Structure 1
Amino acid sequence: MIEAKTRAWWRATAALCLGSFLVFINLYVPQPLLPGLKDAYGVSTLGVSLLMSVSTLSLAFALLVFGPLSDAIGREAIMRITLLLAGCLSLALAFAPTFESLLLLRLLQGFVLGGLPAVAIAWMGDEFDKPALLSAVGLYIGANSLGGISGRVVGGGAAALGGTTAAFLAVGVMTVVGCVVFWRLLPNSKAFTPKPFQFRQAATDLLSHLRSPLLLAAYCLGGINFLIFINQYSYITFRLAGEPYQLAASSLGLIFLTYLGGTFGSTVSGRLAERFSPGGCISAGVAILMVGSAVTLANSLTLIIIGLTINAFGFFLAHSLASSWVGRYAQGARGSASALYLVFYYLGASVGGFWLEPFWRWSQWQGVVVGSWLLLCVPLAIGISLWRFERRVVRR
């Protein structure tokens, strides 16, 4: 087993963090480009938003495929091959002749981008001892958010210089070069033991998780929260690209630096949960997301940025605690329980445009905020019910 802070640990952790960074830079690069792509291809706001939706949808499906497959054939090959394919697909996106071909390529890219997230932590569980695993997972998750931010910033900056083609080319080249480094850094597995895939057992585990009210509540909460959070960022780009702001793609990419508020939210979530309660803090996170949405109604660009930062803090506070809730209350098969949380999480992201689009058509950004508030009442109620459950357990 690889021990923490050894040379082998640093090498493996660096490889997985690099891989995670590359996955999320590819997933989110189109987001600041949506207004430009809408005009270039002559599609609606809902149509161009599908570039994000189809990739998160296929990524969610990929999690259910690659996880069990890796138990049978190994994990390194899945991570290496899917990461390389993701980079090649970004290069292909730069030359997509029609919107339909662009959409198909994003669908395929979302699927292959699911390869590394589906198996990376399982690889660490095989190869690292417990202290090494805990240290590595924290860095790995940090690379997720850094990749998400970088995808928007790099995409927006490259588009300002050479259009959307340049954005996809820049990320594609970065991914292919990074993939070469990833292949060289990632050690070959030494502790992996293959086991045949048993469909019946896997299906039984998933159904048992879905029958658990405590897990299903966390799944729905995470999915709805992400539905609102990530799709608000898509629609805010349309608002800020128009009058009176008229922000270029490079400036729209910088808007996503507000994600750093979420980094702080994730960091303090554990300490807040210890002082108060996980259920109470989840409810507070949803409420903060609702408050941040209200702040974005201001006409001041500064207040809009503050509101988005508040949103990120509230969302990641709730998300961190909801995902840990799953690990705490899953009765066996915790790996599939956590994977199912991510499936709901990305499914939420993929259908968000269909929920918010009618509100956008009704009253532009004000409509999006109203639609957000209406739906966020559901996770708020779920969070309060989890908080009440905890109080009942303590009283016993």
Structure 2
Amino acid sequence: MIVTRSRAWWRATLALCLGSILVFVNLYAPQPLLPDLRQTYGVSTLGVSLVMSVATLALAAALLVFGPLSDAIGRGGIMRVTLLVTGLCSLGLALAPSFEVLLGLRLVQGFVLGGLPAVAIAWMGDEFERPALMAAVGLYIGANTLGGIGGRLIGGGIGEIGGASASFLTVGLVTLAGVALFWRLLPAPRQFTPRRFELRGALMDLLGHLRHPPLLAAYLLGGINFLIFINQYSYITFRLAEEPFGLSARWLGMIFLTYLGGTLSSVFSGRLTYHLSQPACMTLGILILMTGTCITLVNSLAWVTVGLTVNAVGFFLAHSMASSWVSRQAQRARGSASALYLVFYYLGASLGSLWLEPFWQQGGWLGVVIGSWLLLTVTLGIALWLWRSERDLGQPSLAR
């Protein structure tokens, strides 16, 4: 098993963090362009949100394929091949002649984007000792945020200069270069034991995870939290593109630097488990997210930025705890368990616009805040239930 801070640990962690960055650069590059795309194609806010929703929905569906498949054929090959196809899809997006073709390519890209997220944490669970796993997961989640920031900065910055096609071309070329490095860095697995793939067995594994209350609770918590968090960013771009703010695509991309709050909270989340249980950390993260959502109501760009930063701190603290909770609780078919968490996670992202759109239409940003709080009270209740259940069972916060 790979131990914390060893040469093998650093090499594997660097590879998986790089892969994570590439995934989220590709996924989120179009987000700061949504207001411009809405005007260009003459579609509604709900219609243009499909640029993000079809990708995340396809990603969620792909996780049901890649997770169980990785338990049978291994995880490294899946990550390498899907990252390569992801880069090729971005090059194709640069040449898309219409909005319909753009959505079709995003659907395909979303599916292959699911390859690495479906299996990365399971790969770590196979190869790393538990302390090494917790340290690596925090860095990996932090890399998610860096990828999200990078994608939006590229999308907004390059898009303002050369349009959406230039953004997609840049992302595609960066991705292909990163894939070459990822291919070289990722070590060969030593602890993985393949299982014969059987559809019935894979379905029974998934059903077993859903029947395990702590796992189901973590799935719901992660999915609902992400539903709110990521779609708040979509609607805040519409708010900030209008008066009195009037931000251009480049400056809308800069707003996503607030993700850095999530990068920091993810990296240091492992240390927090020395003092608090994972469910307690989830509870704290949700309370912080609720607080940040309220701060964004202030009609000031500075305070909106503060609120979004606070949101990122809270969300990624809860997310890193919930995702590692799944790895800790799964007794078998760890790849399927991790993949199922991400199915809920990205399914939440895909459905978020359907939930928040009526609140946006009726009440603007205040409506979005109200809609957010309604669901965050649900995840707060779930986290408190997990916290109480763990205390009743007398489980330690984390074995180090």
TM-score by length of 2: 0.90
Report the CA distance between 1:68 and its aligned residue. 2.4
> Which residue identity does 2:337 align to in structure 1?
A
CA distance in 1, matches of 2:271, 2:176: 39
Larger mean CA deviation between 370-379 and 126-135 belongs to: 126-135
Whether the 8 Å CA contact 2:138–2:270 is kept in 1: the answer is no
CA 1:55 to 1:137, structure 2 compared with 1: closer, same or farther past 3 Å? same
Report the CA distance between 1:69 and its aligned residue. 2.1
Larger mean CA deviation between 202-211 and 5-14 belongs to: 5-14
Q: 2:345 aligns to what?
A: 345
Q: Tell me if 1:60 matches 2:63.
A: no
Q: Tell me if 1:92 matches 2:113.
A: no
Q: 2:111 aligns to what?
A: 111
> Which residue identity does 1:142 align to in structure 2?
G
Report the CA distance between 1:62 and its aligned residue. 1.2
- Write the deviation string for residues 14-73 of structure 1: whole angstroms up to 9, x where unpaired: 333322211111011111111111111111111111111111111112122112223333
Q: How many residue pairs end up in the alignment?
A: 395
CA 1:170 to 1:295, structure 2 compared with 1: closer, same or farther past 3 Å? same
CA 1:171 to 1:385, structure 2 compared with 1: closer, same or farther past 3 Å? same
> Which residue identity does 1:202 align to in structure 2?
A
Match of 1:297, SS state, is coil
Alignment of 1:69-80 (within 5 A): 69-80=69-80
Q: 2:398 aligns to what?
A: none
Q: Tell me if 1:265 matches 2:265.
A: yes
- Write the deviation string for residues 129-168 of structure 1: whole angstroms up to 9, x where unpaired: 7776665544433322211111111111111211111111
Q: Give the % identical residues.
A: 68
Q: 1:359 aligns to what?
A: 359
What are the ranges of 5 or more consecutive residues in structure 2 without an aligned counterpart? Answer: 396-400
CA distance in 2, matches of 1:71, 1:392: 33
Q: 1:14 aligns to what?
A: 14
Report the CA distance between 1:259 and its aligned residue. 1.0
CA distance in 1, matches of 2:117, 2:333: 18
Report the CA distance between 1:368 and its aligned residue. 0.8
Q: 1:26 aligns to what?
A: 26
Report the CA distance between 1:109 and its aligned residue. 0.3
CA distance in 2, matches of 1:128, 1:212: 24
Larger mean CA deviation between 251-260 and 129-138 belongs to: 129-138
Match of 1:298, SS state, is coil
CA distance in 2, matches of 1:266, 1:249: 28
Report the CA distance between 1:292 and its aligned residue. 1.0
> Which residue identity does 1:107 align to in structure 2?
L
Match of 1:95, SS state, is coil
Q: Tell me if 1:140 matches 2:140.
A: yes
CA 1:30 to 1:130, structure 2 compared with 1: closer, same or farther past 3 Å? same
Q: 1:311 aligns to what?
A: 311
CA distance in 1, matches of 2:276, 2:76: 41
- Write the deviation string for residues 190-246 of structure 1: whole angstroms up to 9, x where unpaired: 665543202222222221221222222221111111000000001001111111111
Q: 2:209 aligns to what?
A: 209
CA distance in 1, matches of 2:182, 2:274: 37
CA 1:128 to 1:371, structure 2 compared with 1: closer, same or farther past 3 Å? closer
CA distance in 2, matches of 1:391, 1:122: 27
CA 1:89 to 1:48, structure 2 compared with 1: closer, same or farther past 3 Å? same
Larger mean CA deviation between 130-139 and 72-81 belongs to: 130-139
Q: 1:167 aligns to what?
A: 167
Alignment of 1:37-48 (within 5 A): 37-48=37-48
CA distance in 1, matches of 2:283, 2:126: 35
What are the ranges of 5 or more consecutive residues in structure 1 without an aligned counterpart? Answer: none
CA distance in 1, matches of 2:327, 2:9: 25
> Which residue identity does 2:150 align to in structure 1?
S
Report the CA distance between 1:12 and its aligned residue. 4.3
CA distance in 2, matches of 1:351, 1:110: 15
Q: 2:120 aligns to what?
A: 120
> Which residue identity does 1:211 align to in structure 2?
R
Report the CA distance between 1:247 and its aligned residue. 0.9
CA distance in 2, matches of 1:40, 1:254: 22
Report the CA distance between 1:276 and its aligned residue. 4.3
CA distance in 1, matches of 2:180, 2:196: 30
Q: 2:320 aligns to what?
A: 320
Match of 1:275, SS state, is coil
